[in-house]
Amino acid sequence: MARSRKALADLSDASQSASAPILHFAARLEDSMHAWREKRGRKRGLKTTIIPYTGYGSPGWVRVLCRIVLTRGDVASQRAAKVRGWRSFFSIPVDDVEVTIIAGGVEQKVLADRGGVVDTRIDVQLTPGWHTITIRTDDTEAVSAPVFIIDPSAEFGIVSDVDDTVMVTALPRPLLAAWNTFVLDEHARRPVPGMAVMYERLLRANPSAPVIYLSTGAWNVAPTLTRFFERNLYPAGPLLLTDWGPTHDRWFRSGRQHKVSSLDRLAEELPGMKWLLVGDDGQHDEEIYADFAARHPTNVAAVAIRQLSPSEAVLAGGRSRAVDQGAADIPWVFAPDGAGLIEQLASDTEIVTGPRR
């Protein structure tokens, strides 16, 4: 028997109680629209589907990521994973659904958020390396999700921006951004030359290093980005995206704040890790990374900034202004492609040759 909405609410965090902030008008409007679309979708026979994302963790815990939506049902998960372009932004999220996560023999139940996203941390003992966990709901088949458990002895990792850093998108230009996001699929997106080779070389020197892709993009495009990474030989790793739309107190989410809070969370979760922060000079990556280095200087190995070409800079609305690079002992390197960045990293730091033994 399905649980009542009140029983499901009891599973949520204690902070989401009567004292929680009142939702912004835009958020209430969005919730009403989602509820109306979900009701219509179920009348049309659409079924609950889990879209799993890559998670990460350390021995003792794992961060689980997935999204719950409605699809047609027949091989629903495959269709949802392969949907491209504008269709992915019109999927119907299912909120407040109870989700069961099974990892390392441990079973835990959580709730999806307003956008159907599950982003939760569970306590579980898994050995370092890649693992597969199971996610299901009461009315869906179980699906598998990969998780990377970071070795406690690992001291180096990579945090990489996506747009205009590993993939040419010229995202800030509204019309081109809309075309890239809603129309084209991963076959039409161009990889930045040399970046995949750069990451592969870094991982050869640091085999236990995690690679985390941090983007202001929406969870809707996660399957497209994952296929792009696979097709262009980028290393596998978790995607940290955001859920577009209103929050409890504002009309739109802040992409900048998403990056800032994600970096701070990584520093808190993995205090012994030094990150190579990779971004571009077309948005705010330099400023965000400089601020992070100032707050967490012991968690930054180096900063690598991909310089946009003149035409890309025009499409991106210009280049970012020069920023204070913070601690003098943190290397900053600049180049238009991966080959130039890895060459400078090799001469300025030891991360390309691996840790000294």
DSSP string, 227-238: HHHHHTTPPP--
Using CA atoms, how far apart are residues 74 and 335, in angstroms rounded to an integer?
A: 47
**How far is residue 221's CA from residue 241's CA, in Å, rounded to a whole number?**
9
Lowest mean pLDDT among 84-93, 243-252, 321-330: 243-252
133-182 confidence digits (pLDDT tens): 999 999 888 999 999 999 999 999 999 999 889 998 755 555 555 555 55
Predicted pLDDT of residue 247: 46
Report the candidate in 125, 146, 121, 117 with the shortest Cα–Cα distance to residue 53: 146
Distance CA 32, CA 318 (A): 39
Give the span between the Cα atoms of 13 and 192, in whole angstroms: 41
Whole-number pLDDT of residue 32:
65
Q: How far separated are the first and last CA of the chain, in Å rounded?
A: 59
Please compute the mean of the pLDDT values over residues 341-357 and round it to a whole number: 78
Q: How confident is the model at residue 353 (pLDDT cuts 50, 70, 90)?
A: confident
Q: What is the DSSP letter of 175?
A: H
* Angstrom distance (rounded) from CA 237 to CA 223: 13
What average pLDDT is seen over the chain? Answer: 80
Residue 263 sits at φ, ψ, to 5 deg, of -65, -45
At 187-233, the pLDDT tens digits run 667 899 999 999 999 999 999 999 999 998 888 888 888 999 999 99
- Band of pLDDT at residue 250, cut at 50, 70 and 90: very low
What are the chain's domains? 5-11+20-149 (2.60.40), 156-348 (3.40.50.1000)
Rounded mean pLDDT, 221-250: 82
Question: Above pLDDT 90, what percent of the chain?
Answer: 50
Of residues 248 and 111, more confidence is placed in 111
pLDDT value at residue 8? 44
The whole-number average pLDDT for the span 127-136 is 97
pTM metric for this prediction? 0.82
What is residue 73's predicted lDDT score, i.e. its pLDDT? 61
- pLDDT 10s digits, 253-282: 567 899 999 999 999 999 999 999 999 988
Region 119-143: mean pLDDT is 95
- From residue 113, how far is each of 45, 57, 66, 208 by CA, in Å? 23, 21, 11, 32
Which of 64 and 90 is assigned the larger pLDDT?
64
Residue 209 has, within 13 A of its CA and on its CB side, a CA count of 26
- The top-scoring range by mean pLDDT among 91-95, 184-188, 316-320 is 91-95
